[in-house]
């Protein structure tokens, strides 16, 4: 019996309400100027007050020392073993834009990027172009790129992100990315992954990807700063157990960015309308409070500003969430968890392997004396300790009174 089978066997339907608020890339590192992390430096009176009557800890998204992508890190928080359910980014992006992904479709996430006169990547995000420009670029590619025997679906995601889906002969997703995730190098050619060199479906898929890339480069070569593209996360949609079936509740997703909506859709959560901004996410929670018993709320921009290395703006997003927090507390959820999927320290401008701050507010908790702040150091010394993120759902279910006893 694996973890999901155990939780499915033990879970019981109740009327309790739960909120999982994920502030993407929440964790940070100490800034040399202020000697605090972003979370510690931000002015967060509401989070600090809540921390004083909550349990704190820190999660390990995948395993110690492993830097997680957003996909597996969220899957862990949803209770799915991330090493088993490692879903390619392309599937998440396609589902996130509400594309009707067929079982044999091959999907890939796209970054529009800036290439120099030598074809080398100078900016993997093309200056974070606006979504309107992304739409224009997708339309150019759709008009100019064609591969015999293959249907190509090109869709904007948000900002510099897009998704492409290939439909045609049997494809394998066991192919390499064209995105090296480095600057100063040319986009890569795709090829079958090691051990799949003799797979005809992988060979065909990589050929189609390389032809698409070639034609797309020609189509947008004059569209500076987004005159190139990078593909990663090639994937075919897998079959998997559904979230609501496992935990026996009615769940809903509140998220702005398509990929995180894709994650929620993949596991079967109900999709609420796309919020306009962070305050609208909190209004969406209030408006739908009586309709669902589990809410996944996703806050993206803590991660975005972490990747930009913008300490002040990452702090500002944390402060904005803190100011809005009373809107959640006024609803009196039975269980409220506030955490991140991974750490994105501004000093590193990237995801990192560092443990992630975690706060759990519920009844029947063990409150640590003199605990008066929500930050990395406080969480490292919290009563919950350091635990795998995949244990989050079992913990939330237990505090919500939704798990039977195991064994006689």
Q: What local confidence, expressed as pLDDT, does residue 89 receive?
A: 86
* pLDDT tens digits, one per residue of 195-254: 888 899 999 999 999 999 999 999 999 999 999 999 999 999 988 899 999 999 999 999
The model's pTM is 0.85
Tell me if the domain spanning 92-235 has CATH number 3.90.1070: no
For residue 126, give both structure tokens: 């093309």
Identify the burial level of 185 via C-beta atoms within 10 angstroms of its C-beta, where 0-12 means exposed, 13-18 middle and 19 or more buried. Answer: exposed
| Domain spans in the chain, listed from the N-terminal domain onward | 13-85+240-399, 92-235
Which CATH superfamily is 13-85+240-399 part of?
Alkaline Phosphatase, subunit A (3.40.720.10)
Q: What is the pLDDT along the chain (408 residues), one digit of tens a residue?
A: 899 999 999 999 989 999 999 999 999 999 988 999 999 999 999 999 999 999 999 999 999 999 999 999 999 999 999 999 988 889 989 998 989 999 899 999 999 999 999 999 999 999 999 999 999 999 999 999 999 999 999 999 988 999 999 998 889 999 999 999 999 999 999 999 988 888 999 999 999 999 999 999 999 999 999 999 999 999 999 888 999 999 999 999 999 998 899 999 999 999 999 999 999 999 999 999 999 999 999 999 999 999 999 999 999 999 999 999 999 999 999 999 999 999 999 999 999 999 999 999 999 999 999 999 999 999 999 999 999 999 999 999 999 999 999 998
């Amino acid at each position: 019996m694996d973890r999901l089978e155990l939780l499915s066997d033990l879970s019981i339907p109740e009327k309790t309400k739960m909120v999982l608020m994920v502030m993407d890339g929440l964790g940070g590192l100490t800034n040399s100027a202020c000697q605090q992390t972003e979370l510690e430096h931000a002015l967060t009176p509401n989070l600090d007050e809540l921390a004083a009557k909550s349990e704190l800890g820190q999660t390990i998204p995948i395993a110690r020392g492993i830097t997680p992508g957003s996909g597996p890190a969220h899957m862990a928080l949803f209770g799915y073993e991330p090493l088993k359910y490692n879903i390619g980014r392309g599937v998440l992006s396609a589902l996130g834009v509400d594309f009707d992904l067929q079982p044999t479709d091959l999907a890939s996430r796209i970054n529009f990027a800036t290439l120099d006169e030598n074809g080398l990547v100078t900016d993997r995000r093309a200056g974070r172009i606006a979504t309107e420009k992304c739409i224009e670029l997708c339309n150019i590619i759709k008009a100019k790129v064609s591969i015999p025997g293959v249907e190509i679906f090109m869709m904007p995601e948000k900002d510099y992100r897009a998704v492409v889906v290939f439909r045609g002969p049997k494809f394998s997703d066991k192919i390499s990315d064209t995105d090296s995730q480095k600057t100063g190098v040319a986009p890569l050619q795709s090829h079958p992954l090691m051990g799949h060199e003799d797979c005809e479906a992988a060979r065909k898929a990589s050929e189609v990807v390389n032809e698409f890339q070639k034609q797309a480069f020609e189509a947008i070569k004059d569209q500076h700063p987004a005159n190139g593209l990078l593909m990663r996360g090639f994937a075919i949609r897998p079959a998997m157990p559904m979230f609501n079936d496992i935990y026996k509740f009615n769940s809903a997703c509140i998220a702005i960015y398509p990929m995180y909506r894709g994650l929620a859709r993949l596991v079967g959560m109900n999709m609420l309308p796309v919020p306009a901004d962070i305050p609208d996410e909190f209004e969406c929670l209030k408006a739908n409070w009586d309709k669902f018993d589990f809410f996944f709320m996703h806050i993206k921009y803590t991660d975005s500003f972490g990747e930009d290395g913008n300490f002040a703006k990452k702090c500002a997003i944390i402060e904005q969430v803190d100011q809005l927090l009373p809107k959640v507390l006024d609803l009196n959820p039975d269980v409220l968890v506030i955490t991140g999927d991974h750490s994105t320290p501004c000093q590193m401008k990237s995801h990192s392997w560092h443990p992630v701050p975690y706060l759990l507010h519920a009844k029947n908790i063990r409150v640590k004396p003199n605990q008066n702040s929500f930050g990395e150091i406080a969480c490292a010394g919290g009563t919950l300790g350091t635990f795998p993120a995949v244990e989050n759902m079992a913990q939330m279910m237990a505090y919500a009174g939704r798990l039977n006893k195991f064994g006689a």
